[in-house]
Amino acid sequence: AAHARTAPLTCLLNTSRLAGEMSTISSRLWASSLPMATRSLHHPFLLRLASGTLARTAFQGYVAQDAFFLRAFARAYALVLGRCESDEAISELSSLIGGVVDELRLHRHYAAEWSVDIVDVEPNSATSAYTDFLMAIARSDASVAVVLAAMTPCMRLYAYLGQRLHASFPNEGGKGENPYSDWLSTYSSPEFEALAAKVEALLDKSAEGVPFELMRAPYLRAMQLELDFFAAQHGGEVVPPIGGLLASGERVLAVVDFDETATVAQTLPLIAELAITTAGSAQDARRSEWQALSAAFLENYGAATERTFSEAAQMEGGLPARLDKLVEVMSTFESSAVVAVEASGVLRGVPETELARAGSEHTEFREGFGRFARALCTAGACEQVEVVSVNWAAQLVRAALARELGEGERVCVHSNEMPMQIEGGLAVTTGGLRSEEGMHTAADKGKTFSALAAEHPATRSLYAGDSLTDIKPLLQADLGVVFGKSSSLRRALDVLGVRMLPMAAARLSSISGMPWAVGGALGAPNRGEPATVYSADSWLEVHASLLGDPDAHTGGEVTARAEFVLADIPTNFAGENARLPVGRTEGIPVVLSIAGSDSGGGAGIQADLKTCSALGVFGTTALAGLTAQNTCGVHAIEGVSPSFLRAQLDAILSDFAVGAVKTGMLPSTEVIEVVADALRHSGIKHLVVDPVMIAASGATLVSDDAMNALCSKLAPLATLLTPNLPEAEKMLNWPRDSIQTVERMQKAAIELHKLGCANVLVKGGHLGEHAAAIDVLYDGRTCETLHALRIDTSNSHGTGCTLSTAIASYLARGLSMREAVLAGKTYLTSALAASAPFRLGNGAHGPINHGFRTHSWQIPDSAQAADARRDSIRKALALYAVTDASLSASRGGVVNAALEALAGGVTCLQLRDKGPATRLLDDALRILPAARARGVPLIINDRVDIMMASDADGVHVGQDDMPAKAVRALIGPHKILGVSVSDNIEDALRALADGADYVGVGAIFASTTKPDKTATGIQFLVKMRSAVGSEFPIVAIGGIGPETAAACIFAGADGVALVSTIFATDKVRETSASLRASIEKALREGKTSK
């Protein structure tokens, strides 16, 4: 059913699907790297190889380099084999080594046929980088799973490339004319697919208990090295680039479906959930209505599709007539389904504002869609992208697209507008769907596309869709593009005699000079051609096929967006009247804690207020109960009258714009009912429910009746429910200590979600046998296991209160749910680590230091030393120069340029060189004495081994390199560790928690040295600084020049990283001196204004 989609109602088939149906580790890793795989697929080297137009010398060079790589690959397999214990694994790895030997046999055939020496091969820089990476990780003490994660991409990527490129040439005759057809046949073969599947199976078996991110990092690194490998295979000649199907200045009508084409997933569940949660006391009845509609739809769907395909197949006439019959029959069924929903009134009462919020905050777009849409407009190919959707709520669609593409720009929405009526001053849905005149069926989409095409008669057209509802415009358009794996759509295409080729086939047509056919699949028979649509794995493929290299169409757009962000920063940003740079526009974020008092100060509202203060939000409280407790236990509990609690709540909610509410200990049924009643109609955006039932000492804090009331009345209102393992067991009436594994945590999260809450975080702090602190986050669709460093300490009193309040604080500051949870875990982990060596009280569970960022419990000398180290690093980051071998080549080389920069006053120097390791080590050893003499730290980019061999001062790694935690373990506590985090707050918080001394953020502006990086803009620095706090140093990276460096400092950066600004000039020393002066001035002004 997941692939048999027509109109949005089909999603009813999937709303009850358990997210526990997890995909394999290998498939998750592959999915995370698919954009990189499609980038390789569309590289000119591979497209020209597949078309037979690759230069002979380029292929000869490739064969030699690949033979060198394969020998190293076999040695890496052998090293893994030596660490395997089971006979089965040894047998499987032996067969994989045999597969590599077979590949080498093919290369020996190439060597004989193409006169290639594959024995004495001098590896180029890309081959060296890849083989060095594989051998280093295979010889390390990393787990077998991590090593296999680094090796699997080679196998899976080649199988993917071979199959896609082979399928792009459906005519056997043309294939035989390709001098490289043996290559296509080998890697598209079932035998090679079996080898790829075998190594993935080994990875899946060995991955149990290994954190996903530890495997993802080497997997993505290997994928990048594969792309670098292809880019380096040119045989001394430039491989000619391949343009897109659109000629320069040519216009296109770009029409796109919304759900699961532009977006990752259907958005109907968002509408369904809103319809249920806004039903108030009738939620159970509303949910039952949905289930009844789902059952009726499921019962009729199979028969309807069978009837559709049967009547279309039996229809006499050509493709247009049979298509019309198919659309007619299917649309009749779709209409009846929509009428049934409309008649039920199940969608009534949903606030229009909530529809828009769901679209803007909870809709995830496919990677590259926004970039493609903007690139089309930037290139002048169209004024706007037309979005045609049978989604029930255009309000949701518009809000989502406005967030992705910008308000009122680049997009026009053609979708069903949900009718509204006014109730209580709010616009809410009537329950109607405009079934007569709305857009709900395949026929409706076909009519809309026809009307748009009529408005653009001389313009070529593109339509992208994913389901049977899209079939008519897919065949009407000059270029029909299919996303996803819909089985019903594929069957319909088969019935109609329409073939589907990979997107690469469309782009390959530009090599052979074939014109972009006018009339698309419907007009193909008239042209004597097979009717064809194309399947795309990512929007990058569509981008590359139409416009050519995606990176060639973003420069103007990125620059324009950066200038807009700069202009949008208020002039008094750093002044005394400036508002905090948070997600709320009305001012300081406010959190309300409804909880009990802990007289010992370690938990309850005392811990909540400390957490709020530490995280930069204003904390308010409503006292729900009193406890007489200390570190030894709870000695007495005193309730608060429901009337007095209601008075507290009314006082806070009537005066403050509360951004998030956190509830803790609620000791009685009456108290819980008061809280639920007050919050139900308060309009609070976020409610974090911490079901405090059992103290850390083991004492029970609430009655069974109160627990039942919390489950039935408060949990359904929660944005997030955060039970620990004992609390989850109690809420589910499971036996004590029955949750002892991650799998049981996942099951508990899924079961607790059925209480009606939006998200569940099951906290695994009691899962003591694990080396990591493991939590499970479930959003109703997927379970995600979150890992953090487990701190060995008995100071755990109040950790649950602290975490839930930290999450509420980050939600109030504008972070997404996942970002807030990760940030909250990072804060708690850091607080536990800062408090671990010390004890307060005589009990088994001591409190933590919530204010560790501003004051330490450590011995004064140790604290001063830590502060001094951090301050010295922060100061060193001010003018951070990054070398570039290509820029310095004509100016005396990297060493000479670095010495000039040091003489000019740079405060930190990063040596970056992707060339041979021997050259990098030699340069480091020559630069280091001069850097040490000036007190300037020398940082090595990426290469931990070079840093350790040269004894440089630190290393800087990216997200695709070795994980920060592993690097810190290798280099020790005293070397400097920097991590690039691009535009991801989660990555920054994780890196700092894992031992990074600073993070590099950007590209802030469009960069010539890394043109593939999308600019984040100055405003993102503000957001990053807000997220990490003032304690941790930040370096701004990317496209920064003398005129923008100060703006970066004022936005929160401690320094700026510069490449071409320094090293592209003939006056490196003078430029460095001038920059040093201006940056120091900006730092002084920023500090004074703050």
Active site residues: 912, 980, 1010
What H or E segment, with its residue span, contains residue 768? none
Distance CA 807, CA 601 (A): 20
Cα-flanking dihedrals φ and ψ of residue 781, to 5°?
-125, -45
β-pairing, 1055-1058 vs 1034-1037, is: parallel
Residue 770's SS3 state is: coil
With tokens 């059992």, the residue in question is 694
Among candidate residues 293, 267, 527, the one with its CA nearest the CA of residue 404: 267
Helix (H) or strand (E) holding 140: none
Residue 729 DSSP SS3? helix
Measure the CA–CA gap between 727 and 733, rounded to whole angstroms.
Answer: 10
Least Cα distance to 63 among 145, 179, 199 occurs for 179
Burial of 247 (0-12, 13-18, 19+ CB in 10 A): exposed
Going from the C-alpha of 545 to that of each of 44, 344, 549, 692, 971, the distances in angstroms are 12, 45, 8, 55, 45
Residue pair 62/183 in contact (Cβ under 8 Å)? The answer is no
Query: What is the total residue count of the chain?
Result: 1090
Query: Alpha-carbon distance 152 to 130, whole Å?
Result: 13
* Residue 198 tokens, joined: 């075998």
794, two tokens: 């008995």
Residue 51 corresponds to which tokens in the numbers above?
């078309």
Q: Which residues contact 1052 (CB under 8 A, 6 or more apart)?
A: 581, 1021, 1022, 1024, 1025, 1026, 1034
Q: Is residue 973 within 8 Å of residue 912, measured between CB atoms? A: no
- 813 neighbors 589 (Cβ within 8 angstroms): yes
CA dihedral 56, 59, 61, 62 (to 10 degrees): 180
Residue 460, strand partner residues: 252
Dihedral sign for Cα 158, 161, 165, 170, please: positive
- Which tokens go with 909? 């120097």
SS3 content of the chain, % helix, strand, coil (to 5): 55, 15, 35
Separation of alpha carbons 599 and 568, rounded Å: 47
**Amino acid identity for residue 8 in this structure:** P
Backbone angles phi, psi at 221, to 5 degrees: -60, -45
Q: For the chain, first and last CA: distance in Å?
A: 58
Residue that has been written with the tokens 């970002």 in this structure: 819
**Phi and psi at residue 843, in whole multiples of 5°?**
-85, 180
Please answer whether residues 25 and 204 qualify as being in contact, where contact means their C-beta atoms are separated by less than 8 angstroms: yes
